[in-house]
Structure 1
Amino acid sequence: MTIRAKHFELEPDSTVTENLRESTLVTDSEVETFLAELSDPNANEAILTHESRPMKQHPRTGRLAPDHSLKIAVAGGYGYAEYTGPGHWCQAVGDPASREYHTSRSHTMRAGNGLSFPTLTRLVTEFLETGELPQLVTWREQSDPSVAHPS
């Protein structure tokens, strides 16, 4: 199984993106290395897609795009995860003490959604192995503020 991961590096002490980083993750070790790189304060959130998943046609551009994405970030000692795919737009529920995190694309990862680094690592590893919404954690659908386990 293979994950494609993309993220931007920011110029130090700036909000200007420097360049796009693309990675291919095939092993658990590559997942760990990639997540350690996201811990750099100049790295922003990453978008992960699984190569075994189907493609869909983008409604505006007509181009083929993955039918899902797993957005992850590492900030303030926590890892954050948001999954979008058929039937889901949800964020992982984590430590109630974790702070809200704002992505570079003006999205918000809610306070209380931060995961420990080992949990984030296991979550991404599960995604690598299955290509599906990881079941390791509880997810909160964005359209419904209550906490729910996906089916």
Structure 2
Amino acid sequence: MTIRAKHFEFEPDSTVTKNLHESTLATGSDVETFLARLLDPNANEAILTHESRPTKQHPLTGRTPPDHSLRIAVAGGYGYAEYTGPGHWCQAVGDPASPEYHTSRSETMRAGNGLSFPTLTRLVTEFLETGELPQLVTWREQADPSVTHPS
């Protein structure tokens, strides 16, 4: 099983992106190496897709993107994770003291959703191993702000 991971880096001291980085993650070591790259203050959030998952046809473009994504970010000493897939659009619930994080696309990872770096590493490793919404953490559905446990 493998994960396709993509992220840009920012121009220093700006919000302009440059240099698309694409990686294939196949081992736990690959996950650790990739996440270490996101510690760079010029790295933006990454979008991960599991290559064993199905695709879906876009009704307007006809393209067939993956049916899911796991967006992750590392900022301010915390890791953030948001999963979108069949039946879910949710963010990982983490340390209540973690601050809100704004992605490069002006989306918000809520305060209290920040994970420790080791937990983020285990979460991405679980995603690599299963291709499913990781069960390691509690998730909060975006459409319903209450905390839920996925089934």
Q: TM-score, normalised by structure 2?
A: 0.99
Q: Which amino acid aligns with 2:5?
A: A
- Quote the offset at 1:61 in angstroms: 1.3
Please name the residue that 1:59 is paired with.
Answer: 59
Structure 1 equivalent of residue 33 of structure 2: 33
Give the Å deviation of 1:59. 2.4
2:82 maps to which residue? 82
Q: CA deviation at 1:64?
A: 0.5
Q: How do 1:2-151 residues align onto structure 2 when only pairs under 5 Å count?
A: 2-151=2-151
| Cα shift readout 1:20-57 (whole Å, capped 9, x = no counterpart) | 11000001001001001001000000000000000001
Aligned partners of 2:66, 2:108: CA distance in 1, in Å?
A: 22
Farther-moved stretch of structure 1 (123-132 vs 53-62): 53-62
Structure 1 residues not aligned, in runs of 5+: none
Query: Superposition RMSD on alpha carbons, in Å?
Result: 0.5
Q: In the comparison of the two structures, how many residue pairs are matched?
A: 151
| Unaligned runs of at least 5 residues, structure 2 | none
Cα deviations across residues 87-111 of structure 1 (Å, max 9, x unaligned)?
Answer: 0000000000000000001110000
Indicate the SS of the match to 1:20.
strand
Give the structure-1-normalised TM-score: 0.99
Q: State how far apart, in whole Å, the 2-side matches of 1:60 and 1:74 are.
A: 33
Counterpart amino acid of residue 143 in structure 2 = S
In the aligned structure 1, how far is the partner of 2:135 from the partner of 2:60? 32
2 CA distance for matches of 1:8 and 1:58? 24
How far is 1:19 from its partner? 1.5
- Percent of matched pairs sharing the same residue: 89
Whole-angstrom distance in 1 between the partners of 2:101 and 2:60 = 29
Cα offset, 1:62, TM superposition: 1.2
